[in-house]
């Protein structure tokens, strides 16, 4: 720069044409570079500066990671806009095995940090949402034929140290793993591991007679899609702007500020917002958002792993889950589901194309049926499948040799190369979503002013402001307040809305006060709440994500509901226009 200034002085004093050309050729690039860096400094790396934008953060993706980050950031005083191209939890976050768990099998991959974090989080989350999450006991039957997944570090170590085991998973190693699982996360609420004699215990009924011994340990259930919606609601209550069915079609930097263009899928209207920073939490689409919408050359990417589940009639006469180990080293769960059903899963298959909707293939259905039949005294067939679903896990691509071995840990990549900061979110699991959000805020703090400290641990989500063991008392209160509700319906409402049940049902004195019954005791009053408070815009949103009433309703009933929702949306648009 000093050399450039000396050339400038020479040009001015001597008025020499040759030096003037030197001035134009040499100085102007410095001037442009200086101005560009100044604008970038004020707009981004100067922690926000005084640049005016619509929002501090624009979050792309309405899954659990995006909504968790939106909630944490809004609670710390940042202005937040979240854009989701479909419904909230419309992809991976509604297609999980629906567990808050440490990940017992991840111990065999020596993922101790991830498991410890997840184990600690189980109880944090249980306290914050006792309506949509509750403790479960898992029965792990043992038989000497059980084997390791040959790709795990533990199996390789065992083969080296004890080659005569030939890949078998010994009972003492399982018990050691459960001891670590019990103590690694500072368990306080959940009971410890115990042993079961299956020949005498009710948990042995329905299993093949060769299974005589089992271990029983604790983890937690969670209503995954409702978890996402409640995080979004809480974020909105703290000032966030939540936009569903709003697809980001471009995100470019101008003068150090993100200009993000979005298209409404219903009206096709285009809108543009400005933000100091973009958070790319696109899940399976994170790589596509990076390269298409943001036009980044980043090489970071996700490994798409499809996990499929099947739902059958209820297979066991108790409320405990099973952790089944296969002869191929994999594991599946069999979990009590929606009172009358059993949820079985999951598979691990690479999914090559994010644009192809995942489905539970016939091969995966057969795999799950054959797997569970290796345990059941009375086998089931594919004809027993009532429903099947599949989701794509956007795991960080760590180069693992198999889908099962790919890390479930999350990776956050802060990028300032585009002229304004962005944060790209890879991987993660539902149990650690709150920790991921806290870690994301630590990255955001590097480029934006965030003075507030972490705050979300144990803080109740909407409807979750009651004791972990308070469901029965809350249910009794709801039944007293609304005595016309069926027992099953009252419990479903408590499990869905917690302390907000009275707000959902309003001042209803009779069933008729709740409006139209669309089937399975889904009344208009509840649907109106879901549309007004929980972003629902279709029957699918209501019966497969905000609830699982689709299992109990007929297609005709769902079609009537969908038309009712469309009519209400249209009437609302007309009223707004007037």
Question: Residue 146 has what pLDDT?
Answer: 76
Per DSSP, the three-state class of 97 is coil
Q: In 3D, which of 562, 554, 509 has the Cα closest to residue 531?
A: 562
Question: Residue 118 has what pLDDT?
Answer: 93
Question: Are β-strands 321-325 and 133-142 bridged in parallel, bridged antiparallel, or unpaired?
Answer: parallel
pLDDT tens-digit readout, 154-205: 878 877 888 877 777 788 889 999 999 999 988 899 999 999 999 999 999 9
Q: Find the helix packing angle between 64-75 and 433-444, rounded to 10°.
A: 50
pLDDT tens-digit readout, 88-108: 999 999 999 999 999 898 888
The model's pTM is 0.88
Cα(116)–Cα(124) distance, integer angstroms: 13
Question: Residue 164 has what pLDDT?
Answer: 76
- Write the DSSP string, 278-332: EEE--GGGHHHIIIIIS-------EEEEEEEEEEEE---SSS-EEEEEPTTS-EE
Question: Residue 194 has what pLDDT?
Answer: 96
Question: Residue 177 has what pLDDT?
Answer: 92
Cα(520)–Cα(547) distance, integer angstroms: 11
Using 50 as the pLDDT threshold, list the residues of the chain that sit under it: 1-46
Per DSSP, the three-state class of 344 is strand
Specify which residues 321 forms β-bridges with: 138
Cα(176)–Cα(189) distance, integer angstroms: 21
Q: How many helices and strands (H and E) does the chain possess?
A: 17, 18
Question: Residue 162 has what pLDDT?
Answer: 80
Cα(103)–Cα(429) distance, integer angstroms: 10
Q: In 3D, which of 557, 456, 479, 563 has the Cα closest to residue 67?
A: 456
């Amino acid at each position: 720069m000093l050399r450039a200034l000396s050339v400038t002085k020479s040009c001015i004093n001597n008025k020499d044409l040759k030096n003037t050309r030197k001035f134009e050729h040499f100085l102007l690039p410095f001037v442009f570079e200086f101005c560009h860096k100044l604008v970038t400094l004020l707009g981004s790396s100067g922690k926000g500066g005084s640049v005016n934008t619509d929002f501090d953060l624009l979050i792309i993706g309405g899954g659990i990671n995006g909504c968790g980050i939106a909630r944490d950031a809004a609670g710390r005083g940042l202005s937040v806009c979240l854009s989701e191209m479909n419904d909230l939890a419309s992809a991976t976050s509604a297609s999980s095995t629906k567990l808050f768990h440490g990940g017992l099998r991840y111990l065999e991959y020596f993922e101790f940090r991830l498991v410890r974090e997840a184990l600690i989080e189980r109880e944090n989350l249980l306290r914050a949402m006792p309506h949509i999450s509750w403790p479960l006991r898992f029965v792990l039957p043992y038989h000497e034929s059980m084997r390791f997944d040959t790709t795990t570090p533990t199996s390789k170590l065992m083969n080296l140290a004890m080659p005569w085991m030939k890949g078998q998973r010994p009972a003492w190693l399982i018990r050691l793993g459960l001891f670590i699982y019990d103590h690694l996360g500072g368990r306080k609420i959940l009971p410890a591991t115990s042993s079961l004699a299956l020949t005498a215990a009710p948990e042995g009924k329905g299993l093949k007679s060769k299974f005589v011994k089992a271990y029983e340990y604790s983890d937690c259930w969670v209503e995954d899609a409702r978890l996402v919606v409640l995080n979004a609601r809480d974020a909105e209550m703290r000032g966030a702007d939540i936009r569903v069915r709003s697809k980001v079609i471009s995100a470019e930097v101008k003068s150090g500020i993100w200009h993000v263009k979005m298209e409404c899928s219903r009206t096709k209207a285009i809108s543009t917002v400005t933000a100091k920073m973009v958070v790319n939490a696109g899940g399976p689409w994170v790589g596509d958002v990076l390269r298409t919408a943001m036009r980044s050359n980043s090489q970071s990417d996700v490994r798409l792993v499809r996990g499929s589940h099947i739902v059958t009639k209820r297979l066991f006469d108790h409320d405990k889950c099973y952790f089944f180990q296969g002869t191929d080293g994999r594991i599946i769960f069999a979990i009590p589901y929606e009172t009358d059903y059993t949820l079985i899963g999951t598979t691990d298959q690479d999914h090559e194309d994010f644009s192809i909707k995942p489905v539970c293939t016939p091969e995966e259905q057969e795999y799950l049926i054959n797997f569970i039949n290796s345990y059941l005294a009375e086998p089931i067939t594919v004809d027993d499948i009532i429903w099947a679903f599949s989701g794509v896990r956007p795991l960080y691509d760590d180069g693992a040799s198999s889908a099962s071995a790919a890390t479930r840990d999350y990776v956050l990549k802060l990028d300032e190369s585009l002229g304004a900061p962005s944060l790209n979110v890879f991987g993660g699991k539902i149990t650690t979503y709150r920790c991921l959000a806290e870690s994301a805020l630590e990255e955001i703090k590097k480029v934006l002013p965030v003075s507030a400290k972490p705050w979300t641990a144990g803080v109740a989500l909407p409807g979750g402001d009651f004791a972990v063991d308070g469901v029965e008392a809350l249910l009794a209160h709801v039944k007293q307040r609304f005595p016309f509700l069926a027992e099953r319906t009252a419990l479903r409402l408590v499990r869905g809305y917690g302390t907000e049940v009275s707000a959902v049902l309003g001042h209803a004195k009779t069933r008729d006060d709740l409006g139209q019954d669309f089937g399975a005791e889904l009344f208009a009053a509840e649907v109106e709440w879901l549309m007004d408070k929980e972003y629902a815009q279709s029957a699918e949103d209501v019966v497969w994500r905000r609830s699982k009433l689709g299992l109990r309703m007929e297609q005709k009933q769902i079609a009537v509901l969908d038309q009712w929702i469309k009519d209400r949306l249209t009437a609302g648009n007309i009223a707004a226009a007037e």
